[in-house]
Amino acid sequence: MRTDETGTIMIVDDTPANLKLLDRMLRVLGYQVFSFPRGDLFLAAAKTSPPDLVLLDIDMPDLDGFAVCHLLKADQALKDVPVLFLSALHQVQDKVRAFDEGGLDYITKPFQLPELGARIRTHLKLRRLQRELEAANRDLHARIQEQGKEHSEVQLAMIQALAKLAEFRDDKTGHHLDRVRRYCRILAAKAAEHPDFAGTVTPEFVTLFTDAGPLHDIGKVGIPDRILHKPGPLSPEEFEEMKDHVALGARTLEEVQERYPRNPLVGMGLLVIRHHHERWDGTGYPEGLEGEATPLAGRLMALVDVYDALRSPRCYKPALSHAEARTLLEEGRGTQFDPRILDLFLQVEEDFDQVFQRLSE
């Protein structure tokens, strides 16, 4: 029996066999489990003792899963409880409606138990992290009221902790975040010297971009291992699922921004998360923005991200030398990258290489 799983999970499904299977599996993993054959019974129990996560069927009599999720999210005390839909419905409109009602994930029956277990662990980690961030932000807010100033070092520690969670999933060297921070500072400082960017890239921009850059891939905590660590090319369907890490990461920070809309570090974090996969020619994702429609922070982050990815070994590719990485980056001039930003990189490329040499295993 595993002992590293914690949390209370409520299952809502009108099929006894499904309840029994899920109950047994989750208890073996070490979770506390409560099962309900009807949505109204679940809602009453959740009001009394909110769970850490809900597994919710859709096709049920009386209250279907959509209605149950809607009522759950309408309750102020329960609106942040993560909901994973488990359903035999596989139409796109069903999945879209599930997310519109507030679901965080959608798994089609019949499901694979290892994948379900992995997704549950991921969403529970995200939920715990959200609570830690909320608690830390509440504490920070109280300190600001008492002392009349912001504790930026505490704020930065929270951001770094959030980024570390993503690094744990996708990087084994332990130095990826340190490299990204240094790349961001080098490139942003150089951008401040460019006449096209000088008005935007202020000293505050450089600091915020440096501190927020490591957040760019936090959404990868929600991507299944079978995709994240696949030792070969992704299928078109897998690539579409991989692209979800942008939305997952943005959604995590948006919840913080709702509480602290004037927080500049969170705002910068959202920019790098949302836009670091856009391309200069408009063929990137998630919005397909072209040219300067992509915010400058996203264009800078795109080059930083690709450089470190090229230099780093992965399960699906070997590490490239600095010269090989530079050649591939130059091939992206005017298509993947803003030509001016590529020129900035070429002016500081030796600094990038030195950072990688110092912070690599």
Q: Do 98 and 20 fall within a single domain?
A: yes
User: Is 45 within the bounds of a domain?
Assistant: yes
Report if residue 144 sits inside a domain. Answer: no
For 123, the domain range is 8-139
Q: Classify residue 148: in a domain, yes or no.
A: no
pLDDT at 173: 46
**Is the same domain home to 126 and 250?**
no
CATH, residue 307: 1.10.3210.10
The answer to whether 14 and 38 have CB atoms below 8 angstroms apart is yes
Evaluate whether residue 3 is within a structural domain. Answer: no
Helix (H, G, I), strand (E, B) or coil at 361: coil
Look at residues 130, 128, 129, 153 and name the one whose alpha carbon lies nearest to residue 143: 153
By the 8 A CB rule, do 283 and 294 touch?
no
| Residue 105 and residue 119 in contact, taking contact as beta carbons nearer than 8 Å | yes
Measured between alpha carbons, how far is residue 142 from residues 145, 267, 294 in Å?
Answer: 5, 21, 36
Dig out the tokens for 124 from the structure: 């529970």
For residue 178, is it within any domain? yes
The contacts of residue 240 (CB under 8 Å, 6+ apart) are none
Residue 343: inside a domain: yes
Structure tokens at 102: 């507030």
Amino acid at the residue 110: P
Same domain, residue pair 235 and 102: no
Q: Look at the chain and report how many structural domains it folds into.
A: 2
pLDDT value of residue 278: 97
Q: Is 112 left (phi over 0), alpha (psi -120 to 50) or beta?
A: beta
Residues forming a β-bridge with 290: 281
What is the mean pLDDT of each successive set of 10 residues along the chain, which is 361 residues long?
Answer: 66 92 88 94 94 92 92 92 87 88 86 83 85 81 57 57 64 73 97 95 96 88 82 89 90 82 87 96 96 98 96 86 97 98 98 94 62
Domain co-membership, 112 together with 252: no
Confidence (pLDDT) at 117: 85
C-alpha–C-alpha distance, residues 280 and 289, integer Å = 8
The verdict on residue 183 lying in a domain is yes
Same domain for 105 and 181, yes or no, is no
159 lies in some domain: no
